[in-house]
Structure formats: structure tokens, C-alpha cells
A and B are shown apart, each in its own frame.
Chain A
Amino acid sequence: MEAIRLATINQTLQDSKTKHFTFANPPEELPLESGEKLGPITLAYETYGELNAQKSNTILLLHGLSGDAHAGGANGWWESLIGPGKGLDTDKYFVICSNIIGGCRGSTGPSSINPKTCKPYGIDFPLISIGDMVNAQARLIDHLGIEKLLSVIGGSMGGMQVLQWMVSYPERIRSAIPIATTLRHTPQQIAFNEVGRQAIMADPDWKKGHYYGSTVPAKGLAVARMIGHITYMSDVSMAEKFGRRFKEDKEPFKFGAEFEVEGYLHYRGDNFVKRFDANSYLYITKAIDYFNLLNGKNLASIFSGLKAKVLVIFFKSDWLYPSYQSQEIVKACKLAGVDTTYCEINSTYGHDAFLLEAEQQSQLIKHFLNTASNGHNGVKQ
């Protein structure tokens, strides 16, 4: 059943022009930061716009925890920012949105078949890091014949990948736009993720990760998603969206969902289960929690030598990734002498603003990319 469900997901994505690149075939597996190896690896990606003759107009777009390669076009997670004349103008730029290893949206992850056992990996899948995700993406960029990216852009976990690109492949990027993100996960952020993981693992259907082919841990994954959603919104956005209003169809049970906010969280949780794999949620949240670009290094050294221009964007109601974390990124850039711009966008949406605030974000990104692609620092007459 599960295999069929995942196959259906992959088929749907293929229909919306998701492409797949397979590499790291044994014995050429990809070495992971954990010391383990992974291969073969399939990476799902989508592209929008055309690569120019000089191969100088490529933008690599990276998604957050629950996102996938389908960023542009109908129902794409950044649909409002990708297209002709939009922030990521497909008349000018060649946009690649890459999925991540460890995921379940067309790329190799715990629900993929382990070639050694011919069964899904489950929790035999090796632990992966943001660095590993980025290394796999670099292989995709090689495969597409692109030496240098005009820009690498992403929000939340996508922003962490952007920061990792700045550290791992500084010579391969001309600019970078980390949005609503951090240099390292804090105890509070780790704590929220841990509650999500515990909810999954407490679900009897989880069966130590080997549930493929039987009932999936739907309850656990739905609760994990509900917790996540609370952290992505703000007090104001929840009050505006739900108030204390009651649902129209109250359940005939004392502790059924009565308030609209409860109904919404249930709906979000249940929907998520239809498109996401619980083990992937465990692996990806771990990768986020382990993310720490500082890791004993001093702030001044992490971006030293970086020639790329950087635009850091923060949303004023984002309490999950507070402003001091964006300012720390800016500080690290300043100390390294990196050409940097920092903007705080007014929004009440909370962390989710990076997916929802299209207008201002679009303008900032459009102008910044214009400057970056003209290859000069400053104003033209």
C-alpha cells in the first residue's frame, strides 16, 4: 500500500514536470558527513526558464522542511514568486528547484528501496546533514553543466542550505539570499522538533520505522505537523485567522475539535500525512537540529573569503527564527567583509511569511538579482 502511495506521489510530481537525476552508483557512493556512504542517489528537481548561452543566469532555489521540487507553476510553493516578470523572472533567469536527500518527494530517502536488501531503508537509512543535502545538489549542478550559480535562494531550512552553499562552495555562487533562517539551531528550535519526533515514535504504527507495506504512523506524523504549524504562525495571524470562533460541524464528543483553530490544525495534520513520510520527517528534522555553521569556529571566520553578494531577509513576526539570528548572519558577513544587504519585512504571518509575503519579497529579490547579475556593486546611470 505504502509503496503504491509513494509511487502515486512520484507520478503526480512527474506529471508536473519534475525531473530526476540519479548518481553515486556503487562503488562511487556519496560520502556523508556522518562517515557513512549513500548510493545510488536520486534527486528530484524542477526547472523554470531557459539557461542562457553563457550559462550565467542560473538560480538554485531550495525549499523548507516539508517542501519539494515543485516550486513554480500551479500549486508550487513559491508560485507567486516564479514566472515571467516576477521576483524570479523566468524571462531572464534559469531557476532550478532541488529537492533534498532524506526526503520523500521523489528523492532518495528512508522510504526508498535499499539496494542491499531490496526493501525500503526505514531507519537503516544513514543520518544526513544539511551539508550532505548541499553536496548532492552540487552534483546536480555539475550534471546540468553549470559551473557558477548567479544566486542560491531559500527560506527556513532552504536558508540553511543557502548558508551551507556559502561555506561549502563559495567559489560557485555569485550571490546568495538566505531568508528567515539561522546559522545554527537553538535549544528552543530543537525542542519543538523533538516533540514532533516523539509524537511519531510514540505512534504504535511507527514500528521502529519499519512500517512500509502496512499502516503508516498517521496520528504521530499529524501531531508533529500540528506542532510545526503552531510555530510557523504568529499570535496575531492566528487571532486574525481563527479568533475564538467555533467550528460549524462540532463533533459529538467532549474533546473533539470545537474551535476553528483546532479544526485547522487537524486538517493540516491529516493532509500532511497524505504527502509526507514519517521517517523522512525524523531524518530531516535531525539534519536541521544538527545544523551549526559555527561549530566552534568564530563568527568572523565562517564566511571569510566569500566574494558573493548577500541579501538577508527577516520577517518581523517570525518568532521561531527571531531577528537576532538573521542579524547574526549579517554580523558574520560584515566581519568577513562580504557585500551584504539586510532587510526586515513587516508581516504578521510569522515564520510562514517567507511563503506568503510575495509582494515585498518579490521586489527586494528582483532588484537584488538585477544588481547581482549586472556584476557591479552599486548604481548605474
Chain B
Amino acid sequence: MKRATIKTEHKIILDWISKDASVLDLGCGDGELLALLINERQVHAQGIELSDTAIHRCVAQGLSVFQQDIDTGLSEYADNSFDYVILNQTLQQVKKPDFALKEALRVGKKVIVGFPNFVQASARFQIFFEGRVPVTKALPYEWYDTPNLHFLGIADFKNYCKKRSIHIADSAFIRKNRKIKLFPNLFAEIGLFLLSS
């Protein structure tokens, strides 16, 4: 794994995580981010993932993973068991995002959330001018075959945090694999948040 190939979203998450930290990645996929965190930050990593093929790829990389549904909860973990809990590209796919986030904030001292911005400009364009549910680079799925169950934007998430008194310690926004600052709710394809309760 060369540094040059690191995705911007992973680079941002890497910058937020301290060396030797303990990390729980909820919906870790094939373990790309966890492997990066172990190599670059020497973290103590644990992943949770449901997919058979993804789990096998994780084990092949030497990662410790549980094949489990995040929706069934993290009840076995005590409060603040991990320095960081990561929900990257996961929150919009779980059945109960509110519950998942609450649990993540309980077992993690800090929580990192990353999700596709559903109200980004080209999505708005497709809805408004084409009258169709958007299919974009960040939202590549057709309506009949999508793992995404919930549709939220950057502003929605900020409102949610305010309502639930969740402290946003840091945030970052990505468009075309680059960080952007201006009008993230309109332009960002991906939003990343560093949260603490």
C-alpha cells in the first residue's frame, strides 16, 4: 500500500487518529481503512462487517473482525471501550442510525462519521431538472439496488448533532477526492465528522 493511493477521506481520518489508539470500525468492508490505520498509526484495531467476502478479505490481511450485524448493537462493550469508533459509509446503511450512533458514542471516546451527501449539487440537478432519483459518483446506486436506507445531507447531520447535543470536534468535506471548504452542503460529495458526546 503506497501513500499516494490513499483516498482523501482515509487521509483525513488518519489525521484525526492518534498513534497506538484503540479503534472499532463498524462496517469495515474489506478492511482497507483498518489496515491503513494499523500501518500508519499502529492502532489496536477491531472491525465489524456483515459481508462474507469482505470478512474473508479482512482475515487475509490479518485483521481481527467480527461477522456481525451492527444493528444488533454493541451491548457487550463497556462505555468508552475504544478511543475511536468509526462509522465510515455505514450510517446511511444501518436500519437504525440513531441507535447505532448512540451506541458508538457510548463505547467510543470519539466517533468518526463519514457519509455521502445526498443533497449535493449534481443530485439536486438530477432531481430538479431530470425529475429522477439521483445516481452520481458518490451515490452510484439505482433505487432498486442500493444498500443505502437513509438519505441525509451535511446540514441534516449538523442539525441532528445539535438536537442530540453531540459535540462536533472537527469536520471535513470532500469533492472529487479533494478537500473543500465552501458551501459543503451544496458541493461536498462526502462529509466527515469527528464527534464526542
Contacts and interface: CB of A to CB of B under 8 A. Distances in A.
Interface in B1-45: 1, 34-35, 38-39, 44-45
B66 A379 contact: no
A252 interface: no
B61 A360 contact: no
B35 A341 contact: no
Report which residue of A327, A331, A368, A378 has the largest number of chain B beta carbons within 10 angstroms of its beta carbon.
Answer: A378
Nearest to B81: A337
Interface string A320-356: 0000000100110011000111111110000000000
Interface residues of B, number: 23
Contacts of B68: 327, 330, 342
B1 A344 contact: no
Q: Number of contact residues on A: which range applies?
A: 20 to 34
Nearest to A374: B62
Interface in B49-79: 52, 55-56, 58-68, 76-77
Q: DSSP majority for the B interface?
A: mixed
A374 B67 CA distance: 23
Contacts of A364: 56, 59
Contacts of B1: 381
A309 interface: yes
A379 B64 contact: no
B52 A378 contact: no
A379 B63 contact: yes
Contacts of A376: 62
A214 to B, nearest CB: 52
B59 A378 contact: no
A377 B44 contact: yes
A360 B56 contact: yes
B59 to A, nearest CB: 5
Contacts of A381: 1, 39
A367 interface: yes
A25 interface: no
Nearest to A380: B62
Report which residue of B34, B44, B63, B67 has the largest number of chain A beta carbons within 10 angstroms of its beta carbon.
Answer: B67
Nearest to A372: B62
A346 to B, nearest CB: 6
Given A335-B76, A378-B45, A381-B1, A370 B56 contact: no
A344 B52 contact: yes
A363 interface: yes
Nearest to B47: A341
A317 to B, nearest CB: 14
A379 B56 contact: no
A371 interface: yes
Contacts of A342: 65-68
Contacts of B66: 330, 340-342
Contacts of A334: 76-77
Contacts of B61: 367, 379
A363 B56 contact: yes
A379 B76 contact: no
B67 A343 contact: yes
Contacts of B52: 344-346
A367 B67 contact: no
8 contacts: A331-B76, A334-B76, A342-B66, A363-B56, A368-B59, A378-B39, A378-B63, A379-B34
